[in-house]
C-alpha cells in the first residue's frame, strides 16, 4: 500500500541521497546505521533498563522513535544506491538480509519486554518473514510483488510505531498477524495466477 506513496516521495529521497553521497556515504553505511538504530529500538522495547527520561517518555515510545529512524535509513540506502548507480546483487542481498535481521531484533525486544503473549509474537514474526520470503522467492522466478498486499514491511513498522505511541502494542501485534496473513495469501495467489498465465 505504501509503495505508491514511496514512488511519490522518491524525488525527495533522491535529493537527500545525492547530498549524502557528497559526503562519501555509501548504501552499505546506511544499511549499517539502520541495523544500529534497530538494535537501540529493540533495546528500549525490551525494557531491560529504565531511565530517568522514562518519567516523560516511556521505553516503548523511544523504541518506536528509533525504529522510525532505522526505517528512514533503510529507505535511503536503496535510494542512494540508485542515484549513485551502485545497485548490485551484493547490495540487494545485504539490504534484504539486514531487513530480516532488523525484524528479528525488534520482535526479540518485544518478546523480552512481554508486551504480548509469546505465541502472538511468534506468529507475528513468522508471518512477517513469510510475507518477505514470498517476495524474495517470487523475484527469483521473475514475478514482481512490489505493492502487492496490505501489510508490507513499511506498513508493519508504522502499525507497530503508532500503537507504541498510544501504549497498545498487543493490539499492534494482533493486527500485524491478521494483515500479514492476508498479505501472504494475496502474494501467494498473485504468484500462482502469474505463473498460470505463463
Residues noted as catalytic: 99
Residue with cell 529504565: 50
Q: Please work out, in degrees rounded to the nearest 5, the angle formed at the alpha carbon of residue 154 by the alpha carbons of 126 and 12.
A: 160
Q: DSSP 3-state assignment of 151?
A: coil
Please tell me the distance from the alpha carbon of residue 74 to that of residue 77, in angstroms, as a whole number: 5
Please tell me the distance from the alpha carbon of residue 168 to that of residue 157, in angstroms, as a whole number: 14
Please tell me the distance from the alpha carbon of residue 2 to that of residue 55, in angstroms, as a whole number: 34
List, in order, residues 6 or more apart from 117 with CB less than 8 Å away. none
Q: What is the DSSP string of 36-54?
A: HHHHHHHHHHHT-S--GGG
Q: What is the DSSP string of 53-96?
A: GGGTS-HHHHHHHHHHHHHHHHHHHHHHHHHTT---HHHHHHHH
Amino acid at each position: 500500500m505504501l509503495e505508491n506513496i514511496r514512488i511519490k516521495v522518491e524525488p525527495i529521497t533522491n535529493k537527500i541521497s545525492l547530498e549524502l553521497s557528497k559526503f562519501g556515504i555509501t548504501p552499505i553505511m546506511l544499511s549499517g546505521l539502520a541495523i544500529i538504530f534497530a538494535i537501540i529500538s529493540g533495546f528500549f522495547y525490551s525494557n531491560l533498563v529504565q531511565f530517568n527520561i522514562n518519567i516523560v517518555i516511556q521505553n516503548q515510545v523511544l523504541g518506536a522513535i528509533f525504529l522510525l529512524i532505522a526505517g528512514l535509513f533503510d529507505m535511503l540506502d536503496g535510494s542512494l544506491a540508485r542515484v549513485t548507480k551502485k545497485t548490485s546483487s551484493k547490495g540487494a542481498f545485504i539490504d534484504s538480509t539486514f531487513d530480516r535481521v532488523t525484524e528479528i531484533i525488534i520482535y526479540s525486544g518485544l518478546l523480552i519486554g512481554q508486551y504480548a503473549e509469546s505465541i502472538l509474537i511468534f506468529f507475528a514474526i513468522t508471518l512477517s518473514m513469510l510475507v518477505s520470503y514470498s517476495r524474495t522467492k517470487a523475484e527469483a522466478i521473475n514475478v514482481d510483488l512490489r505493492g502487492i498486499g496490505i501489510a508490507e514491511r513499511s506498513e508493519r513498522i508504522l502499525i507497530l510505531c503508532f500503537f507504541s505511541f498510544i501504549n497498545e502494542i498487543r493490539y499492534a501485534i494482533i493486527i500485524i498477524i491478521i494483515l500479514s496473513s492476508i498479505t501472504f495469501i494475496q502474494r501467494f495467489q498473485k504468484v500462482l495466477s502469474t505463473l498460470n498465465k505463463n
